[in-house]
Amino acid sequence: MHRDCPEHIRVRLRAVQVRYIAMCGDIEIGTLIVDERLVGDIEAIFALALCIEYRFTSIVPIHVYNWDDTLSMSANNSSGFNYRCVEGTYELSLHAFGMAVDLNPLRNPMIMRGVMHPACGIADTNHESSLFPDHPIVIRFKELGWTWGGDWTEPYDPHHFQKDLRTAAI
């Protein structure tokens, strides 16, 4: 666990084991760390992803990348919890609360002020792991009350999904 993460966040985090199809076609087990109230949503999303044969490169907690978001994104790793600020600010990201996930970030790169993140990103909407407005995964996340970063203009962040529960009843 990230050493700076406060206890009130840490106690709500859960490691969710998800089955997924790797780029090579094998079924693998990955781990996403999210707020305990989002476990059911994540299980539903990954059941759908398996059903539609949506592929992932890897799904491992970001501590494997020494908490480095750029390294994780550059490896096309899908992840959830990361105790960090929103890029370019001092405001905690919803990733810091376990309320956001990034899916296939190399293949769905964020574009902020005209710059692609990760820098080695591949923005190809025809690739099998690309996310777009009428993609079943995007639709399902929205049905579950999540916000999709692909609906934003600045930054445009199609790998990012978030559900802000900070003010929700406990």
Per the domain annotation, does 170 fall within a domain?
no
Q: Are 71 and 94 in contact (CB under 8 A)?
A: no
State the alpha helices, DSSP H only, in the chain. Answer: 7-10, 39-51, 69-74, 136-143
DSSP letter, residue 170: -
Per the domain annotation, does 35 fall within a domain?
yes
Per the domain annotation, does 167 fall within a domain?
no
Number of domains the chain is built from: 1
Q: Which of 88, 147, 149 is nearest to 113 (CA)?
A: 88
Per the domain annotation, does 112 fall within a domain?
yes
pTM: 0.94
Per the domain annotation, does 168 fall within a domain?
no
Range of the domain at 44: 7-162
Q: Give the tens place of pLDDT for each residue, 42-99.
A: 999 999 999 999 999 999 999 999 999 999 999 999 999 999 998 888 999 999 999 9
Per the domain annotation, does 124 fall within a domain?
yes
Per the domain annotation, does 133 fall within a domain?
yes
Q: Roughly what angle, to the nearest 10 degrees, separates helices 136-143 and 39-51?
A: 160
Per the domain annotation, does 1 fall within a domain?
no
Q: Give the tens place of pLDDT for each residue, 119-150.
A: 898 888 888 899 999 999 999 999 999 999 99
pLDDT of residue 169: 54
